Amino acid sequence: MAKNITPRNEDYSKWYTDVIIQAKMADYSPVKGSMVIRPTGYAIWELIQQNLDKMFKETGHVNAYFPLLIPESFMEKEAEHVEGFAPECAVVTHGGGKKLEENLYIRPTSETIIWSMYKKWIMSYRDLPILINQWANVIRWEMRTRLFLRTSEFLWQEGHTAHETAEEAEEETLKMLNVYKKFAEEYLAIPVIAGKKSDSEKFAGAVHTYCIEAMMQDKKALQAGTSHNLGQNFAKAFDVQFQAKDGERKFVYATSWGVSTRLIGALIMTHSDDNGLVIPPKLAQRPVVIIPIFKNDDEKVKVMAFADSIFAELKEEYNVIMDDREKHKPGFKFAEWELQGIPIRIEIGPKDVEKNHVVMVRRDLMKKEFIGRDVIFETVKKQLAQMQVDLLEKARIFREENSFNVDNYDELKKIVTNEEGFVYAHWCGSTECEEKVKTETKATIRCIPFDREEEKGVCICCGKDSDRRVVFAKAY
Amino acid sequence: MAKNITPRNEDYSKWYTDVIIQAKMADYSPVKGSMVIRPTGYAIWELIQQNLDKMFKETGHVNAYFPLLIPESFMEKEAEHVEGFAPECAVVTHGGGKKLEENLYIRPTSETIIWSMYKKWIMSYRDLPILINQWANVIRWEMRTRLFLRTSEFLWQEGHTAHETAEEAEEETLKMLNVYKKFAEEYLAIPVIAGKKSDSEKFAGAVHTYCIEAMMQDKKALQAGTSHNLGQNFAKAFDVQFQAKDGERKFVYATSWGVSTRLIGALIMTHSDDNGLVIPPKLAQRPVVIIPIFKNDDEKVKVMAFADSIFAELKEEYNVIMDDREKHKPGFKFAEWELQGIPIRIEIGPKDVEKNHVVMVRRDLMKKEFIGRDVIFETVKKQLAQMQVDLLEKARIFREENSFNVDNYDELKKIVTNEEGFVYAHWCGSTECEEKVKTETKATIRCIPFDREEEKGVCICCGKDSDRRVVFAKAY
């Protein structure tokens, strides 16, 4: 276990912060509630952006940029929206040395400013659909910072689409939820439960909200992405009508969907260990480190020649690090790159050169293996792919082992209170029962999952009929 | 000439705005001073980002992200900095429903927040250099919007580096200026004059500022990028010292450098014409459009088969648009894609199919050429490369034809007042003479150019000795 990192079983919350600070992924900033994303953390965000952006473009979306500052009066146009977000906003009252005539809110999300523009751009069905995404920063006021998971300012993407029909909007909402699910599983290696939010958990201004939910290593839930069907709520608030093919004027249908730098927190909490960060290979800008080991100049010449040839070969495909710093001992370097989460470490000492092999260590397994010189490249390739698959599978098994079908309220209470995992239980659909569980156990309904078959039962709370189980858990 | 676009010689300023609005590159937002960057404009920014980011990484830089909000007290730590920027700031006074104890400024630039973090991160020479860049939004209050060129909020990148010695910092400052020059010329196809700013034009808080300056089609100057040597000013303001190799404690040396979405304005003003936008091929996400032309189903079958095979071939390498919309006539489509600045248009009618060729039109030349079926791919490739070169060369010739060595104050006054071009004139180096010219002609010293040889002369204003000419011009 790495020095300066509290073990998970001692204090999970401290472990999480230690990994981030020690791996230099992020740091606290002097402004309460906000953080600095350092290069190691930002490198992961860059690959999240690149890969998600590609998936957005493949599904027909384009990027744009809307203003940071939103007039107070815009926020007030959609009743649920202002109620949900205004209390969390940072407010600009002065600009250019003067008091402003109207206060400006730093965007907590951009529906209002975007729909004020869509009103200008949408005249007829020919202007639809609009499939726009934006990469941006937003602020939702927080005093208690939790790096990556809860900060006043965070980076995210927000898609905002406009459609002719309710069906198209629903299709888009689900399509983007699936993009998120695919991305979470294939890139972040985080298995997620896709489903629908209960009414009390939906986005302020949405008709309904879909989400993906993941289990962290402390068995708590983390919402990793949301996709909202906004119906005609924002079109009505901003009077956005279009001339339909039949000549009638109709209100436009909307969706919005987003994921944020919170995904980096989810990645850490799913895969990392007491030695530090573990990065899924597809999100590692530097997937391989080579550490040459020698004690004198003779050994150095021999080892470096061998190491350089391997470096050159791998460099063709991978951003390899050659750690030939002489001021540090091998053990120090091993610990440092483990902390940084580099997926594959290659160690090369004089004896390895003689035997024409290297020692290879996969970050998730931490087991040394000898790999013959001829098959290094293909082994790196294979192991990176395998590690990506294994991380997902390990997390899936962990989640399944800690998910329980429960039909007894006391048992639900025990499991969620002790944070033993996810509880699949019957629920009648009423806000009262949902609230009761929340008050008594601090667990919320994470989602009404898509992948569970309908099943007759009775509400775990009130005993009324229910035809499906929902997921209860404590959440971040 | 395109409808809805005012010709340049009628009203250059209106032409510029018309191109942007008609090509849907950007739009005015409801908040005074701010703009919306629409997909056509944002697509150019994405390629600017991708290519510049690659150049930053090749020169050893990494990306990070620092908070949007800066405490008032931080801004006040560097005297020139606060004087220069505070009056332009947007100020957050309330957050989370409460009045804040200390006002927060939305970053106009990030030196202060970044150096407050560097203080935490820099202990010894081993921690140096720090070579960090950030892609972000900033706000500098503006009431009179000029799309892309002058808006309250804009997108940019800001590099912030920390070094052991003054020499290293100076080397970095010049290295990044050269990156900007190379990028401007090779990607934006904009020839630039690299040089040093006079003291009165330098960045608030810098020891000195280097810049690249370009000539627009109205013969006014536009500053396209700046690189600042900040000396130890910010290290002293934030008390950032390090233990040097010799054991002594010393203040760190700093640089900062940035370019912004203003580059899109420069691109438009350099290359576009009365038909709309002209995009240099390297910054065109969609460099080719194919327009099949047919009048009946027989022709359609024949033309589409031919067009589809060309589309498939080009698609291997390029993001080609196939504009087979039947509701619009060819002339309409030609005008639309000219307006959007697509570099190459391919027209295919039934006769072209018979003759086994296509009509190809380069956006900058607007001349039809017949290209045999077999050489379409290689011609597209060649013409895209050639257009990139030609745009730069055309702009360079234009600038040279409109640059004048002047030794007589009245002549300088005439040229800059009538906006006839750049004036290279001798200057003694005093702020008084610089101010006098500015007051009397509205022209400023754009830079002390690097590429002009030393030359003895006398100041155009006061007659004192001078050993170099500087560039005077009216500027955006």
Residues contacting A161, CB < 8 A, separation 6+: A61, A129, A130, A131, A132, A169, A172, A254, A255, A256
Query: Which residues does chain B have within 8 Å of residue A90's beta carbon, measured at their own beta carbons?
Result: 69, 92, 94-96, 104
Query: Which residues does chain B have within 8 Å of residue A238's beta carbon, measured at their own beta carbons?
Result: none
Joined together, the tokens standing for residue B4 give 């809805």
Distance from CA of A40 to the nearest CA of B (A): 8
Tens of pLDDT, residue by residue, chain A (476 residues): 567 899 999 999 999 999 999 999 999 998 889 999 999 999 999 999 999 999 999 999 999 999 999 999 999 998 888 888 888 999 999 999 999 999 999 999 999 999 999 999 999 999 999 999 999 999 999 888 899 999 999 999 999 999 999 999 999 999 999 999 999 999 999 999 999 999 999 998 899 999 999 999 999 999 999 999 999 999 999 999 999 999 999 999 999 999 999 999 999 999 999 999 999 999 999 999 999 999 999 999 999 999 999 999 999 999 999 999 998 999 999 999 999 999 999 999 999 999 999 999 999 999 999 999 999 999 999 999 999 999 999 999 999 999 999 999 999 999 999 999 999 999 999 999 999 999 999 999 999 999 988 899 999 999 999 999 999 999 99
Q: Give me the domains of chain B, ranges plus CATH numbers.
A: 12-271 (3.30.930.10), 288-383 (3.40.50.800), 403-473 (3.30.110.30)
Residue A90: φ, ψ to 5°? -95, 135
Residue B312: φ, ψ to 5°? -60, -40
| Pick from A45, A67, A95: CB nearest B141 | A95
Q: Which amino acid is located at B451 in the chain?
A: D
Query: Which residues does chain A have within 8 Å of residue B68's beta carbon, measured at their own beta carbons?
Result: 34, 68, 106, 137, 139, 153
**A99 contacts B113 by C-beta, under 8 angstroms:** no
Nearest CA in chain B to A327: B126
Q: Is A65 close to B42, i.e. CB distance below 8 A?
A: yes
| Pick from B29, B36, B90: CB nearest A92 | B90
pTM confidence score? 0.96
Nearest CA in chain A to B39: A64
Residues contacting A126, CB < 8 A, separation 6+: none
**A128 contacts A162 by C-beta, under 8 angstroms:** yes
B-interface mutation test, from A37, A40, A47, A69, most B Cβ less than 10 A away: A69
Collapse the DSSP code of B107 into the 3-class scheme (helix H, G, I; strand E, B; otherwise coil) and give the result: coil
**A189 contacts A47 by C-beta, under 8 angstroms:** no
A-interface mutation test, from B50, B68, B141, most A Cβ less than 10 A away: B68
Distance from CA of B398 to the nearest CA of A (A): 33
Query: How far apart (Å, rounded) are the C-alpha atoms in residues A141 and A32?
Result: 10
Joined together, the tokens standing for residue A465 give 């009929």
- In terms of DSSP bridges, do strands A90-95 and A221-231 run parallel, antiparallel, or are they unpaired? unpaired
Q: Is B31 close to A139, i.e. CB distance below 8 A?
A: no
Query: Which residues does chain B have within 8 Å of residue A139's beta carbon, measured at their own beta carbons?
Result: 68-69
Distance from CA of A92 to the nearest CA of B (A): 4
Query: Which residues does chain A have within 8 Å of residue B89's beta carbon, measured at their own beta carbons?
Result: 95-96
Query: Which residues does chain A have within 8 Å of residue B97's beta carbon, measured at their own beta carbons?
Result: 87, 141
Nearest CA in chain A to B132: A39
Strands, E, within A80-201: which ranges?
Answer: 90-95, 98-106, 130-139, 153-163, 193-196
Q: Is A88 close to B67, i.e. CB distance below 8 A?
A: no
pLDDT in tens, B163-203: 999 999 999 999 999 999 999 999 999 999 999 999 999 99
Query: How far apart (Å, rounded) are the C-alpha atoms in residues A447 and A434?
Result: 12
Query: How far apart (Å, rounded) are the C-alpha atoms in residues A433 and A438?
Result: 9
Alpha-helical (H) ranges within B125-197 are 166-186
Query: How far apart (Å, rounded) are the C-alpha atoms in residues A263 and A258?
Result: 11
Q: Is B96 close to A117, i.e. CB distance below 8 A?
A: no
Nearest CA in chain B to A130: B39
Distance from CA of B123 to the nearest CA of A (A): 15
Residues contacting B88, CB < 8 A, separation 6+: A96, B108, B140, B141
Query: Which residues does chain B have within 8 Å of residue A67's beta carbon, measured at their own beta carbons?
Result: 29, 31, 34-36, 153
